Each structure stands twice: as structure tokens, then as C-alpha cells.
Amino acid sequence: MRVLFLFLDGVGLGKNDPTINPFARAKMPNLHAILGGRSFLKESAPFTGERATLLAIDPAVGVDGLPQSATGQAILLTGKNIPAEIGYHYGPKPNPEVAAYLNDGTLFSRFMKEGKRTALLNAYPPRYFHGIDSGKRLYSSIPLAVINAGLELFKHDDYFAGRALSADFTGEGWRTMLGFPEAPILEPRQAGRKLAALAKECDFSLFEYWASDYAGHKQQMDTAVELMETFDGVLGGVLEEMGEDLLILVTSDHGNMEDLSTRKHTDAMVPALVIGEKKAREDFTRGMSDLTHIAPAIWRTVMRK
């Protein structure tokens, strides 16, 4: 079975409090439909329905301090309790100790060695590569794992040719922020259908959505609600296009956006939303309680004959 991993940066399961939690405000009919009226709230998990399973899993993995992006994402890609091994959570970008775990042994590198087709479905603009080449920007954990596996990051041409998606799903940012007035624009549902179609060409694919974490740090309620309503439209398109041979995983590296009363990360559990055939979901989520269980579950699912 193929796996599409939708990574939402900085999304925890928080209180049902619309004064601080955008998930208590956002209109998300597609998410609510597959969760029996529930949303990404602390009270919603665990849940198992006809199409989806929602668990609350621990991003702190038994290590003191607030979870951070570099180590959290590295855990998700390796299954290793990196904060326990190095003695601390770290982020946002990997330091040398964290980066060492991303040289080999990630899902991307392991699937490549097995001859599986794998991809990061984000398209990166020219200024991103200019920043990397100049030394002014560092790779975050996910793209670092991709290039260390011998894969190329998708670029401007890939986005325009429909081989990858914009980091904001719709492509609006390529026009308004990146200076590409002719950039393709997709409605959220179109973007979701495109995402699922691209995922069905891979054995394992990942899409990284970092805007959720940014809105959390900026404490931008209106922006956060808009982002999640856009995500829900994307989810609707994915549900329409996914078919029976694709399992969808939505999870995060740490809490943040669910509590806009603070700019900091939180100690909240994070959602593990799994969408697909019931038996596959049962196998995927069996024994799952923290971030270290995600990578092994993806590996089992893709490698199962």
C-alpha cells in the first residue's frame, strides 16, 4: 500500500476554546465528516470511524522540555528517539548532532535502497536555493533527509509543470510573495486532488506544510483559521482522489498553533490522523503512542507484500 504523509508543522490537540484555539473556530466540514463531527481537539481522540482513525500521540518522547522542530521531524523520519539519545530537544533547524541522524536511515534513504519510489511533493522557489547556496539559509530536517537520500528537491519548473505543489497548496504565494505573476493557481480541492494523484505515483510521499507553525508563533488567529479552512478544502480533494491503495497520514512534530495565547511551542499531544481502509488503519496504528512509532508504521505499510 502507498502512503501519503501530510505533515502539519506545529499542530497539537488543544482545548475546545475558541479564544485561543483556531480548531475550535475553523469551519472544516471534510475533517468533521470523517471524524464524526470532531476536529483536532484534545477531547476528540481516540476515535475510529468508517474512513479515519484519530490518535493523540506524544511528541516529547519522554524527554524534558518542549518539543522542537528539528528533533521532532527527525524522529518522524527515522523512528529513533533522538532527543533521548542526544539529551535534549532542538530546533528549528538541525544542528550537527541532529543532522547526523539524517545522513542515512531515514524513510527516504531506506525506501530508495529498496527500489521504492519516494518524493517530497513540495516545490521550492529559486530564492530558497539561492539562500542555501549563499549560506544564509539552512535546510530543515525534511529537505535535508531528502537530499541526503540522493533525491532532488522539486523546483520552479516542476511546480509549473504540475509535478509538485506550492508550500501553501494553492500557489497564491508564488504570485503574491515570490514574484511569479503567471504561477498556476489551484483551488484547495483541486490542490488536494493533485496531491493525491501525485502520491499515487509514489510508494511513499510527503508534503510539508509549515505555515501552521508560522501562524502559531505569530499568534495570528484569523490567519490560522484561514489556513486550516484551506487545509480542509485540500483534504476534501484528497478524499475524492485517493482510492483504495493509498493511506493518508496527517501528523505533526509538536504543539503550537492550537494555543495562540503563547508564541512558544506547547506540551500538547499531537494528532495522528490516518485515513484509508480499516484493516490498513488498524495495522498502522497498533501500539502507536508517540512520534517514534510513525516511521516504523510507514515502513511496514509500504513494504507489506
pLDDT of residue 18: 98
Cα–Cα dist 95/231, whole Å? 30
The residue written with cell numbers 527516504 in the block is: 108
pLDDT of residue 106: 98
Across the strands, what pairs with 68? none
pLDDT of residue 72: 98
- Please check whether residue 197 is in contact with residue 241, taking contact to mean a CB–CB distance below 8 angstroms: yes
Low-confidence ranges of the chain (pLDDT < 70): 305
pLDDT of residue 305: 56
Distance (Å) of CA 4 to CA 10, 235, 276, 278: 19, 12, 11, 16
All structural domains of the chain:
2-303 (3.40.720.10)
Side chain identity at 61, as an amino acid letter?
V
Q: Is the pTM of this model over 0.85?
A: yes
